[in-house]
Amino acid sequence: MRKFEDTYRHKGLRKKLMDTLREKGITDERVLEAMNNIPRHFFLDTAFDNIAYEDKAFPIAENQTISQPYTVAYQTQLLQVKPQEKVLEIGTGSTYQATVLAEMGAKVFTIERQKKLFEKTKNYIFKSKYPNLKFFYGDGFEGLPTFAPFDKVIITAAAPFIPPKLIDQLKPGGKMVVPVDEDHHQRMLRITKNADGSTSEEAFQNFSFVPMLSGKNG
């Protein structure tokens, strides 16, 4: 059995990482506080213990990645999450991003299409700490109609287009943060659903994500 320890060294490295994120332009202290509270090294293989607090993406199982801390902070900041809001995440992956949202007090519903990654969430380390975080196996393009509508939607894989069913599942006034494919990168977009059901779009900087694929795998 793996022993999970959050030592003074880990905590110190984490604090430094938060300073790096501030230097790179992250300003929402609630996001930084949540990330400072979560031991990122718990979400990685022990081989990454010494580098877990570098501002880098790392491989996890099934050829997927845990997003770079800067990317997690950036998307979370754009999402403007408030406590008790219902948030749908597409792409559970390592569960790190979902944990950040749960730590901020949101009711989090996260979907993963890779069966093996979903199976791992059965041993999710913070199960008792975050009863507000629920895991689903499915295709993110379909969303979760039974639990809709959501205040916020966050997509953590490169979307070929803005998934229409996820717009349907947003509340009026709700927001979606989604990296959408352009040539060799993704442009971060924030979509706001207006009261009349129409949408407005804001464009931000470019990122690089693993692809959002349709259908389930496994």
Q: Which residues are catalytic?
A: 67
Q: Do 99 and 38 meet the contact criterion of CB atoms below 8 Å apart? A: yes
Note whether 133 binds ligand SAH by CB under 6 A. no
Binding to ligand SAH by CB under 6 A, coded x per residue (else -) over 19-48, reads: ------------------------------
Note whether 90 binds ligand SAH by CB under 6 A. yes
**What's the 3-state SS for 80-136?**
CCCCCCEEEEECCCCCHHHHHHHHCCCEEEEEECEHHHHHHHHHCCCCCCCCCEEEE
Note whether 186 binds ligand SAH by CB under 6 A. no
**Degrees (nearest 5) of the Cα angle 133, 213, 87?**
25
Q: Do 100 and 81 meet the contact criterion of CB atoms below 8 Å apart? A: no
| Torsion sign (Cα): 213, 60, 106, 70 | negative
**Interacting span for ligand SAH (CB under 6 A) from 13-21, 109-117, 122-130, 185-193:** 109-117
| Torsion sign (Cα): 71, 114, 178, 39 | negative
Q: How far is the CB of 201 from ligand SAH (least distance, A)?
A: 21
Residues 136-155 that bind ligand SAH (CB under 6 A): 139-141
Q: How far is the CB of 139 from ligand SAH (least distance, A)?
A: 5
Note whether 93 binds ligand SAH by CB under 6 A. yes
Nearer to ligand SAH, 38 or 191 (CB): 38
Note whether 156 binds ligand SAH by CB under 6 A. yes
Nearer to ligand SAH, 110 or 191 (CB): 110
| Torsion sign (Cα): 26, 117, 150, 162 | positive
Contacting residue, 88, 108, 111, 189, with ligand SAH by CB under 6 A: 111
Contacting residue, 18, 41, 53, 65, with ligand SAH by CB under 6 A: 65
Q: Which residues bind ligand SAH (CB under 6 A)?
A: 64-67, 90-91, 93-94, 96-97, 111-114, 117, 139-141, 156-157, 210, 212-214
